[in-house]
Amino acid sequence: MSTAATTETKPAPAAIEKIMVKVDGREIEVPRLMADWSGKLTPTTMIQACELAKTDVPHYCYHPKLPIAGNCRMCLVEFGTPALGPDRKPILNPDGTTKIAKSPRPAIACATPVSPGMEIYTNTPGVKQMREGVLEFLLINHPLDCPICDQAGECKLQEYSVDYGQSASRFVEAKVHKPKVVDLGPRIMLDDERCILCTRCIRFTKDIVGDDALGIVNRGSFNTLTAFPGKAFDNNYTLNTVDICPVGALTSKDFRFQMRVWFLKETRSVCTSCATGCNILIGSREEKIYRYTPRENDAVNGPWMCDYGRLNYKWIGRADRLKDVLVRNVGQASSLSHSQEKSETGRMPVLHSKVTWTAALSEIADKLKNAPAGSVAIVASARQTNEELWLISKLKAKLGAISDSISRTGAGDKLLVSTDKNPNTNGAQLTGVAANSMGTNLPKIADGIRTGKIRTLIVFGEDVTRHGIGVDLLGKLETLIVSDILPNATTELAHYLLPGCAHAEKRGTFTNTKGRVQKFMKAVEPPGDARPEWEFLHDLVYNVTGQDGFLTIEGLFNEMAQDVPAFNGLTWANLGDTGVTVKT
Amino acid sequence: MSFTVPANLEGEIDELISHYPVKRAASLMVLHAIQEHFGWISQEAVEWTARKLDLQPINVYELVTFYPMLRQEPMGKYQIKVCRTLSCALGGAYELHQHFCGKLGLDAHKHGPQTTQDGKFTVEFIECLASCGTAPVMMCNDDFYEGVSHAKADEILGGCK
Q: Cβ distance A301 to A279 under 8 Å?
A: yes
A218 Cα to chain B: minimum distance (Å) = 5
Longest dimension (CA), chain A: 108
CA atoms within 13 A on the CB side of B114: 18
Q: Is residue A546 over pLDDT 90?
A: no
Q: For residue range A457-491, what is the model confidence (pLDDT) as tens digits?
A: 999 999 999 999 999 999 999 999 999 999 999 99
pLDDT tens sequence across B12-38: 999 999 999 999 999 999 999 999 999
Of all residues in chain A, the one with the smallest CA distance to B63 is A217
CB of B59 within 8 Å of a chain A CB? The answer is yes
Categorise residue A536: left if φ over 0, alpha if ψ from -120 to 50, beta otherwise: alpha
Tell me what pLDDT residue B3 has: 87
Domains of chain A, start order: 18-123 (3.10.20.740), 147-156+167-316 (3.30.70.20), 326-333+340-581 (3.40.50.740)
Q: Do B84 and B154 belong to one domain?
A: yes
Cross-chain Cβ contact B61/A229 below 8 Å? yes
Whether B1 shows a pLDDT value over 90: the answer reads no
Residue in A248, A239, A286, A254 with CA at minimum distance from that of residue A147: A248
Task: Give the number of A-B residue pairs with CB atoms closer than 8 Å.
Answer: 32
Q: Mind listing the pLDDT tens digit for each residue in B62-121?
A: 999 999 999 999 999 999 999 999 999 999 999 999 999 999 999 999 988 999 999 999
Question: What mean pLDDT do residues A32-58 have?
Answer: 95
Q: d(Cα A318, Cα A185) in Å, to the nearest integer?
A: 27
pTM of the full structure: 0.91
Q: Do A216 and B62 touch (CB under 8 A)?
A: yes
Three-state SS letters, A284-323: EECCEEEEEEECCECCCCECCCCHHHHHCCHHHHCCCCCC
Is A49's pLDDT higher than 50? yes
Instruction: Show the beta-strand stretches assigned E in A423-553.
Output: 456-460, 479-484, 496-499, 508-511, 516-520
Evaluate if residue A9 carries a pLDDT over 70.
Answer: no
% of chain A with per-residue pLDDT over 70: 94
Chain A residues lying within 8 Å of B59, measured CB to CB? 212, 215
Residue B22 lies in a domain: yes
pLDDT in tens, A154-191: 999 999 999 999 988 999 999 999 999 999 999 999 99
Q: Say what angle helices A533-545 and A386-399 make with each other, to 10 degrees.
A: 20
CA angle B96-B98-B99, nearest 5°?
A: 60
Same domain for B35 and B87: no
Cβ A126 vs Cβ A106: under 8 Å: yes
- Please give the Cα distance from B49 to B41 (Å, whole number): 10
Backbone angles phi, psi at A29, to 5 degrees: -95, 125
pLDDT of residue A355: 94
d(CA B135, CA B83): 9
- The Cα A528–Cα A36 span in angstroms is 49
Q: Are strands B121-126 and B78-83 parallel, antiparallel or unpaired?
A: parallel
Q: Tens of pLDDT along A210-266?
A: 999 999 999 999 999 999 999 999 999 999 999 999 999 999 999 999 999 999 999
Residues B36 and B59 grouped into a single domain: yes
Give the pLDDT of residue A12.
Answer: 61
| Residue-by-residue DSSP string for A464-483 | GGGTT--HHHHHH-SEEEEE
pLDDT tens column, A109-162: 999 999 999 999 999 999 999 999 999 999 999 999 999 999 999 999 999 999
pLDDT digit string (tens) for A342-396?
444 455 556 788 999 999 999 999 999 999 989 999 999 999 999 999 999 999 9
Same domain, yes or no: B109 and B61: no
pLDDT, one tens digit per residue, over B42-59 is 999 999 999 999 999 999
Indicate if B59 and B83 belong to the same structural domain: no
Give the number of residues written for chain A. Answer: 584
Residues of A in contact with B73 (CB under 8 A): none
Nearest to A379 by CA among A402, A408, A409, A399: A402
CB within 8 Å: A229 and B65: no
Please, which residues 215-244 of chain A have a Cβ atom closer than 8 Å to chain B? 215-219, 226-231
Phi/psi of residue A140, each to 5°? -55, -50
Q: Residue A341 above 80 pLDDT?
A: no
The CATH number linked to B29 is 1.10.10.1590
B83 lies in the same domain as B139: yes
* B101 and B138 fall within a common domain: yes
Backbone angles phi, psi at A560, to 5 degrees: -65, -40
A444 with A366: CB under 8 angstroms?
no
Residues A55-107 have pLDDT tens digits of: 999 999 999 999 999 999 999 999 999 999 999 999 999 998 999 999 999 99
Rounded CA separation A377/A390 (Å): 16
- Among A297, A279, A281, A298, residue whose Cα is nearest residue A289: A281
Q: Are B20 and B42 part of one and the same domain?
A: yes
Q: What pLDDT is attached to residue A551?
A: 86
| Nearest-by-Cβ selection for B59 from A215, A218, A226 | A215
Order of strands across the sheet that contains A279-285? A265-270, A279-285, A288-294
The enclosing domain of B105 has a CATH number of 3.40.30.10
- Structural domain span for residue B102: 78-158
pLDDT in tens, A277-299: 999 999 999 999 999 999 999 99
Element (H, E) at A393: helix A386-399
* pLDDT reported for residue A274: 96
Chosen from A217, A221, A226, A235 to mutate, greatest number of chain B CBs within 10 A: A217
Decide if B104 is inside a domain: yes
Does B56 share its domain with B87?
A: no
Looking at the fold, whether B90 and B112 belong to one and the same domain comes out as yes
pLDDT at A344: 47
* pLDDT the model gives residue A159: 95
Mean pLDDT across chain A? 92
Contact A217 B65 (CB under 8 A): yes
Q: Measuring CA to CA, how many Å separate B75 from each of A469, A572, B128?
A: 72, 71, 21
Strands (E), A191-271: 214-217, 224-227, 250-252, 265-270
CB contact under 8 A, A217 and B66: yes
- Tell me whether residue B1 is in a domain: no
Q: Is the pLDDT of residue A6 over 80?
A: no
A219–B58 C-beta distance less than 8 A: no
Looking at the complex, report in whole angstroms how far the Cα of residue A229 sits from the nearest Cα belonging to chain B: 8
pLDDT in tens, A422-439: 999 999 999 999 998 999
pLDDT at A549: 80
CA–CA separation, A82 and A88 (whole Å): 10
Of A201-205, A325-329, A574-578, the least confident: A325-329
Number of domains into which chain B is organized: 2
Q: Which residues of B touch A214 (CB under 8 A)?
A: 58
Give the pLDDT band of residue A547 (cuts 50, 70, 90): confident
Q: Does B14 touch chain A (CB under 8 A)?
A: no
What is the phi/psi pair of residue A545, to 5°?
-105, -15
Q: What pLDDT is stored for residue A40 in this prediction?
A: 93
Mean pLDDT of chain B: 94
